[in-house]
A and B are shown apart, each in its own frame.
Chain A
Amino acid sequence: MSRISVYTKFFLIVFANGLLFFTLPDPLVLAITLYFCSFQFVDGRIERGWHWVCITAVFAVGTYLAYLTPDNLIGHYVLFFFVGLGKLLPVVVVGAYISGTTKVSELICTLRRLHVPQWIVIPLSVLFRFFPTIRNDYRQIRMAMKFRGIATTTGDMFRHPVRTMEFIYVPLLNNATNVATDLASASLTRGLTDPGPKTSLIQVRFTLLDASMCLMGLILMGGALYVVM
């Protein structure tokens, strides 16, 4: 389980996306991006942490050097690459952290506690539950197609796109329909439709660690606001 609660992660999303609306001095953006990277370390994902620190560094250096780029097409391309994509980097860092560390059960539990209605929570749980099945199904279908001698290579797949789509979709959707029925049986017989309040085994708590990380974020946010004002 992640050491950082989903609440803090929501805060990170708001923070990172808010950044997009403002133009801030480079050093401050760098500090904030590194702050986002630090969450990887807090959650013990040291290698990942360094990975994102390196990417951040590359963009920082790139943005800095980009001002020196010449006024031709290549220069503009490099400038756009670093400045444009660099702008989105904080959002990507946060996204990578959240999708890499959040367990589905934590997310669901948090949504429940926030009283998100069942008609969102149930489909969302199923969505996560179904991803691995899709990957497995796709592999099986490709194998079956190879034995039939249809679209055996990637090139073939694009040569008859509609036919390929049909061959992949028919078994895929077919299985999806079967799984839907089975999941419905399994969940109905385990009380999914109980109208009473639901509980959660796992606990999503806003800990001292969350508080201190958020505080750090708020300080950076304050700095950003000060600069903007």
Chain B
Amino acid sequence: MLSCDQVTFTYEEAGRPSIREVNARADRGTLLVVTGKSGCGKTTLSRIINGLVPELYEGRLEGHCLLEGEETTSQPIHLLSRRVGSVFQNPKTQFFTTDVRSELAFPLENMGVDREGIRERLDQVSELFGIGHLLDRSMFALSGGEKQTVAIASSCMADPDLLLLDEPSSNLDVEAIEALRAILDKLKGLGMTMVVIEHRLYYLDGLADDFLILQDGRVVDHLTPSAMRNLDRERREGMGVRALRLDESSKTATPEEEGGPGLDASRSGQEALLRIRNLTYSYRKGEEKALQVDDLTLSSRDITGVIGHNGAGKSTFANLLTGLLKPDHDQTRFTLDGKPQTAKERLADSYMVFQDVNYQLFCETVGKEILLGARRKDLFDEVASRLDLEHLLKRHPNTLSGGEKQRVAIAAAILSGKRLVVLDEPTSGLDLLHMNQVTEMIRYMRSLGVMVVVISHDQEFLEQTCQRFITFREGRPVRDSPELGDLLQAL
């Protein structure tokens, strides 16, 4: 079906090739996984397969990428797009129309299929994907998982020979990933050939037929599922690849905790405690409560993980905690080390690192960025070296990679000198190396006496980072435990 033969590609204006002499094959009905660290060239390979090279990204291509014997990059993209369906990583930015029905019809409308034909195919596809109930909804009203399902459904509308998914799970929560797995399973059952570019591998266990591992643009390994499963940990981590099985990652935390708790205490002086009592919040007066917390105490000694379904109240909780939202009534008490705090004071004393850090980068150099609004300017040198930002200080944040941007955002959070830092889904789309870095940065924050709360769906990351797990369900904390267990069950 698909065969890449000695593919080398250099982007225009780039000095060196992004991928070199890559060979890859996907036979009909099989699922090929391409994995490796960020920047290893996975996405470049995908652009050659779906024709975005040379349509959108120009450069010099050597070697051949053949789909059923035909060169992918030499056919016009509108013809190739009928045979290769593409799904991208960000569910929010890959739909072109505003409602689900139009989004599904879009590829066929472009091809000029008649109305009856579109309608028929739409019925088939929406039944296959179980999205009949979503058809009349606005795309904006869907959850991330639903958006991603619609994106896959839409790219299957033209009945392609090959489906290419570029990090489809990176912005999804654990349940949406289960749904994604089910969909891929179904498509595989129907004989669809698939290429999945991914960091997060556990959900592909049992589906994948082949694993291709890239490093610095080269294929460094080509493994069968059983070889992948038995890959020893050191080798796997050396290649920057996340575990195929979750239980494997959770046995011991990877990055060793440095110093131990003794050091924490010496640096931060003492434990800070934030107590929350009688907290209720509703988005509109008289409506059902979106959040209710009777009595909860957070400590700066524990890194607290907040988990829960979509819409369980995690974000609302975070927004109240940081003072972005005000509680319903005056009986709510937030006390930090015994002193009551108003919403305004909480806002002045807390910080949030967003899932998409692009929204919180404002300045023209990294140096200025991390000093903007900083109260702990004295930590500048230490933070810059701990977070490996020294060589980037003069760069514009826009020119950095995703992982680097996130380090900048976290550095700004630390230098702000605030006592509470909330991180919202800090590992979405990160590879193993960057995930471990985030864990280390969070531990560093704790060692400075900062109270850290992490909202996450990432089991591997939660296990290695947090000491306490609070589960929200229907706006209430229902479980509070030092053990995570199986995330799906913990929800």
A, B assembled together? yes
State which residues 411-451 of B face A: CB under 8 Å: 412, 416, 418
| Interfacial residues, chain A to chain B (CB-CB below 8 A) | 103-105, 125-126, 128-129, 132-133, 137, 140-141, 143-150, 152, 166-167, 170-171, 174-175, 178-179, 181-203
Judge whether B159 is part of the interface by a CB distance below 8 angstroms. Answer: no
Given A150-B373, A190-B81, 13 new contacts (CB under 8 A): A104-B97, A129-B97, A132-B140, A144-B360, A147-B322, A148-B412, A166-B362, A179-B93, A185-B94, A186-B151, A198-B109, A199-B113, A201-B118
Judge whether B12 is part of the interface by a CB distance below 8 angstroms. Answer: no
A104 to B362, CA, bound (A): 33
**Contact yes or no, B105 A188, CB < 8 A:** no
Known: A129-B97, A186-B93, A196-B111. A137 touches B359 (CB 8 A): yes
Q: Which of A137, A171, A189, A202 has the most CB of B within 10 A?
A: A189
* 30 pairs, A vs B, C-beta closer than 8 Å: A105-B102, A125-B96, A129-B98, A143-B352, A144-B362, A146-B347, A147-B416, A149-B373, A152-B347, A171-B362, A175-B359, A182-B90, A185-B86, A188-B51, A188-B52, A189-B85, A189-B86, A191-B110, A192-B110, A193-B77, A194-B112, A198-B110, A199-B109, A199-B112, A199-B115, A200-B105, A200-B109, A201-B101, A202-B102, A203-B115
Chain B residues with CB below 8 A from A196, complex form? 111-112
**Contact yes or no, B155 A189, CB < 8 A:** yes
Judge whether B88 is part of the interface by a CB distance below 8 angstroms. Answer: yes
Chain A residues with CB below 8 A from B78, complex form? 191-195
Q: Which of B97, B155, B398 contacts A174 (CB 8 A)?
A: B398
**Contact yes or no, B348 A194, CB < 8 A:** no
Interface string of B346-375 (1 = CB under 8 A from A): 011011101010111111000000001100
Interface string of B179-197 (1 = CB under 8 A from A): 0000000000000000000
Judge whether B317 is part of the interface by a CB distance below 8 angstroms. Answer: no
**Contact yes or no, A144 B359, CB < 8 A:** yes
Chain A residues with CB below 8 A from B158, complex form? 190-191
A128 to B140, CA, bound (A): 12
B151 closest partner in A (C-beta):
A186
Judge whether B95 is part of the interface by a CB distance below 8 angstroms. Answer: yes
B409 closest partner in A (C-beta):
A144
Question: Would you give the shortest CB distance from A90 to chain B, in whole angstroms?
Answer: 29
Known: A147-B322, A201-B102. A188 touches B359 (CB 8 A): no
Chain B residues with CB below 8 A from A193, complex form? 55, 76-78
Chain A residues with CB below 8 A from B92, complex form? 133
A147 to B422, CA, bound (A): 11
Judge whether B334 is part of the interface by a CB distance below 8 angstroms. Answer: no
A203 to B109, CA, bound (A): 12
Chain B residues with CB below 8 A from A194, complex form? 78, 110-112
Known: A104-B98, A192-B78. A174 touches B360 (CB 8 A): no
A166 closest partner in B (C-beta):
B362
Chain B residues with CB below 8 A from A146, complex form? 324, 347
**Contact yes or no, B362 A189, CB < 8 A:** no
Chain B residues with CB below 8 A from A201, complex form? 101-102, 105, 108-109, 115, 118-119, 122
Q: Which of A125, A143, A174, A182 contacts B358 (CB 8 A)?
A: A174
Question: Would you give the shortest CB distance from B470 to chain A, in whole angstroms?
Answer: 22
A184 to B77, CA, bound (A): 12
**Contact yes or no, B93 A189, CB < 8 A:** no
Closest 3 CB pairs of A and B: A182-B93, A191-B110, A144-B360
A128 to B97, CA, bound (A): 8
Chain B residues with CB below 8 A from A150, complex form? 362, 372-373
A179 closest partner in B (C-beta):
B93
Interface string of B147-169 (1 = CB under 8 A from A): 00001001100100000000000
Chain A residues with CB below 8 A from B362, complex form? 144-145, 148, 150, 166-167, 170-171
Q: Which of A145, A148, A170, A201 has the most CB of B within 10 A?
A: A201
Question: Would you give the shortest CB distance from B404 to chain A, in whole angstroms?
Answer: 15
**Contact yes or no, A147 B360, CB < 8 A:** yes
Question: Would you give the shortest CB distance from B370 to chain A, in whole angstroms?
Answer: 11
Question: Would you give the shortest CB distance from B410 to chain A, in whole angstroms?
Answer: 13
Question: Would you give the shortest CB distance from A17 to chain B, in whole angstroms?
Answer: 27
Chain A residues with CB below 8 A from B110, complex form? 190-192, 194, 198
A203 closest partner in B (C-beta):
B115
Question: Would you give the shortest CB distance from A202 to chain B, in whole angstroms?
Answer: 8
Question: Would you give the shortest CB distance from B156 to chain A, in whole angstroms?
Answer: 11
**Contact yes or no, A191 B111, CB < 8 A:** yes
Question: Would you give the shortest CB distance from A29 to chain B, in whole angstroms?
Answer: 36
Question: Would you give the shortest CB distance from B135 to chain A, in whole angstroms?
Answer: 11
A117 to B429, CA, bound (A): 38
Chain A residues with CB below 8 A from B113, complex form? 199
A194 to B82, CA, bound (A): 10
Interface string of B199-216 (1 = CB under 8 A from A): 000000000000000000
A5 to B119, CA, bound (A): 21
A96 to B83, CA, bound (A): 43
**Contact yes or no, B118 A147, CB < 8 A:** no
Question: Would you give the shortest CB distance from A81 to chain B, in whole angstroms?
Answer: 34
A105 to B359, CA, bound (A): 30
A186 to B168, CA, bound (A): 13
A154 to B72, CA, bound (A): 53
A140 to B353, CA, bound (A): 11
Chain B residues with CB below 8 A from A175, complex form? 358-359
Q: Which of A145, A152, A178 contacts B93 (CB 8 A)?
A: A178
A175 to B359, CA, bound (A): 8
Chain A residues with CB below 8 A from B154, complex form? 190
Question: Would you give the shortest CB distance from A139 to chain B, in whole angstroms?
Answer: 9
A167 closest partner in B (C-beta):
B362
Chain B residues with CB below 8 A from A200, complex form? 105, 109, 115
A193 to B347, CA, bound (A): 48
**Contact yes or no, A188 B112, CB < 8 A:** no
Judge whether B114 is part of the interface by a CB distance below 8 angstroms. Answer: yes
Judge whether B84 is part of the interface by a CB distance below 8 angstroms. Answer: yes
Known: A182-B88, A188-B77. A141 touches B359 (CB 8 A): yes
A155 to B361, CA, bound (A): 22
Chain A residues with CB below 8 A from B85, complex form? 189
Q: Which of A104, A129, A148 contacts B360 (CB 8 A)?
A: A148
A147 closest partner in B (C-beta):
B351
**Contact yes or no, B108 A199, CB < 8 A:** yes
Q: Which of A105, A145, A167, A184 has the most CB of B within 10 A?
A: A105
**Contact yes or no, B56 A188, CB < 8 A:** yes
Known: A148-B372, A196-B112, A197-B112. A187 touches B96 (CB 8 A): yes
